[in-house]
Amino acid sequence: MSAANDGAAPAAPAVGMNAAPEWTAGERARLRAAFQAGRLPHALLIHEAPGAGGEWLATWAAQLVLCREPARAPCGACAGCRRVWALQHPDVTWVRAAEDSRQIRIEQVRELAAELALTAHGGGYKVGIVSPADALNRFAANALLKTLEEPPPRTLLVLTATQPSRLPPTVISRCQRLRVRAPTRAEGVAWLTAQRGTGEWGEALDVVGEAPMLLVHVEPREIAEVGLDARRTLEALTEGSTDPVAAAERWARGEALPLRLKCFENWLTDQIRRRTPGAASFTELRPGPYLPAGGVALNIRELFGLLDEVRELRAALDVPLNRGLALEALFRQLARQGTG
Ligand SMILES: [Zn+2]
């Protein structure tokens, strides 16, 4: 594998290959049919719910075109499939955001274009995977457009994005869109059990939501601990007993940030539910005209505002932004509300 991603995190797919996520079955069938009919598009844009398996499907698509058993591609067992999975296939290039800037820069896209222009080592396809494509900065996206407009023959470009609307329409219009929806809880539990064996996956999914890919390298017990720690921080913030700046720094630094933000979301949901007598379930709650008037309503409105912002931050975790500052602003609001 070549890697046009200097300074970026090691390019490792998040999951094991042995169990295909059931909720991607439709998209896999479409891709396989197109490939076997010789009309696979040269560019795919996988629009995924966060943690639902966009990179898994991108890897699967690379195996589809590089498998040595075309009749049953991807077989998952041949040298081609195994190399793709192990990130060691010389004809697959991963492009990822640099860790410092959280962006994909123009130099990385140029390296990718140069790599795709070379003859494939295996004499077949060359594959470029840009993940997440919503981390492409403006210049990089423009550079990618050139490759999308005039792709070398036998090229497959796969872009993943949780927020494709951040991409220029010119890029989007040149890709075939695929959708990876969020799995149901039952689908998530079944897949995690197949990957990792029996465990408290249902409880763990309650913490992270419908994002089983976030759990594949984590122990369910660790998730419970992160959940407890997050709850303590949030309560300390509302009591004014912890410093929002220090807390934001600690959260932004750790790898558990996606988990912690999910806990934040759950915690806010819980607070809203408690302040809304008679609400059977949160899914029935909406901000706006349904809320009671007066001071309590203002409080709930602020909580809903925070909830929206936490959700936005979670969805934007892959794109460039100062996470520490964004968190600090949220924590300050929470501290103000808690003591106000
Ligand atoms: Zn194979």
**pLDDT tens string 304-315:** 899 999 988 887
Helix (H/G/I), strand (E/B), else coil: 210: coil
Instruction: Please identify every residue whose CB atom is under 5 Å from ligand 1, which is an ion.
Output: 67, 69, 75, 78, 81
> In the structure encoding, which two tokens stand for residue 173, read together?
């219009």
The neighbour count for residue 110, using CB atoms within 10 Å, is 16
What's the CA gap between 188 and 220, in Å, rounded? Answer: 13
What's the CA gap between 268 and 340, in Å, rounded? Answer: 17
> Do residues 80 and 207 make contact, with C-beta atoms less than 8 angstroms apart?
no
Half-sphere exposure of 39 (CA within 13 A, CB side): 5
Interval between CA 219 and ligand 1 midpoint (Å): 31
**pLDDT tens string 153-188:** 999 999 999 889 989 999 999 999 999 999 999 999
Interval between CA 194 and ligand 1 midpoint (Å): 21
**pLDDT tens string 174-223:** 999 999 999 999 999 999 998 888 888 888 887 777 788 878 777 777 88
Interval between CA 79 and ligand 1 midpoint (Å): 7
The neighbour count for residue 97, using CB atoms within 10 Å, is 26
339 by Cβ neighbours in 10 Å (0-12 / 13-18 / 19+) ranks as exposed
Interval between CA 77 and ligand 1 midpoint (Å): 5
Predicted TM-score (pTM) of this structure: 0.71
Interval between CA 70 and ligand 1 midpoint (Å): 8
Q: Phi and psi dihedrals of 52, rounded to 5?
A: -95, -10
What is the pLDDT at residue 320? 60
Interval between CA 18 and ligand 1 midpoint (Å): 13
pLDDT at 22 over 50: yes
> In the structure encoding, which two tokens stand for residue 150, read together?
């005039």
Interval between CA 69 and ligand 1 midpoint (Å): 5
What's the CA gap between 167 and 136, in Å, rounded? Answer: 8
Interval between CA 283 and ligand 1 midpoint (Å): 44
